[in-house]
Amino acid sequence: MRIATFNVNSITARLPRLLAWLESSGTDVLCIQETKCTAEQFPVDALKELGYESAVNADGRWNGVAVVSRVGLDDVVKGLPGGPEYGGVQEPRALSATCGPVRVWSVYVPNGREVAHEHYTYKLAWLEALRSAVAEDAAAGRPFAVLGDYNIAPTDDDVWDRSFFEGMTHVTEPERAALAGLREAGLADVVPRPLKYDHPFTYWDYRQLCFPKNRGMRIDLVYGNEPFAKAVKDSYVDREERKGKGASDHAPVVVDLDL
């Protein structure tokens, strides 16, 4: 079973490439972030033609998450139970579903913007709510994982130059402590470092030739419980999908399970 996570940075802009990637990669379940569309605009029919069911949590702004599956899609929960609001609303940043033998969450963790910004405080509160919300699934006997754009680089080795990020979000101790909270809840990063190259980054800014210069970050993560981790037989970042015209600024992270 092949499961992946991909911040598409607008599913409308990325749809032809996404459909082609799903066909070529043989992905069974894909967790999608940053759909940037309403639920009604999500390409359910185009995905259905490839054999995928869709579950969507989106409101048309810069957020939005989804899970698409060709192995079943049941027990869908939209939103983060107990999650904080920002600007008076609970943003569409989480969605969970059962896909065959595996339960997954697709999450798009708030960016945080700046350490002194209220969005950073919101980010930490959101991560604490996530830890609480996933605890029951993490303790269950079935394979379970939280996949998505965490907007956190777990270690200094997960950014191209730690000094460049001094005083910035994504690398602060409180954010990394929030990841430790997920580990305390029974989840672990199942995509090991190093993979097939020294720096398996998952995000490169469009500006300043960051991708050609490999000035990236590893912020798209897969955190799984013990049954999920034991089933992992391979994992990789599909860096090729970041190349070329019309690419997202993120690359898919793919995990193969032996179930």
Known binding residues for Mg(2+) are: 7, 34, 149, 151, 249-250
199 a catalytic residue: no
Which residue, among 170, 63, 153, 155, has the nearest Cα to 115 in the 3D structure? Answer: 170
Tokens of 195: 């993979």
Q: Given the residues 52, 108, 122, 203, select the one marked as catalytic.
A: 108
List Cβ neighbours of 197 (8 Å cut-off, separation of 6 or more).
239
223 a catalytic residue: no
DSSP structure string for 70-83: SS--EEEEES-TTP
Give the position of tokens 């969450």: 105
250 a catalytic residue: yes
Q: Which positions make up the binding site?
A: 7, 34, 149, 151, 249-250
CA 22/CA 181 separation, integer angstroms: 32
| Radius of gyration of the chain measured on its C-alpha atoms | 17
Q: Given the residues 28, 137, 149, 158, select the one marked as catalytic.
A: 149
In sign, the C-alpha dihedral spanning 64, 85, 175, 206 is positive
Which residue, among 97, 102, 185, has the nearest Cα to 142 in the 3D structure? Answer: 102
Q: Which residues are known catalytic residues?
A: 108, 149, 250
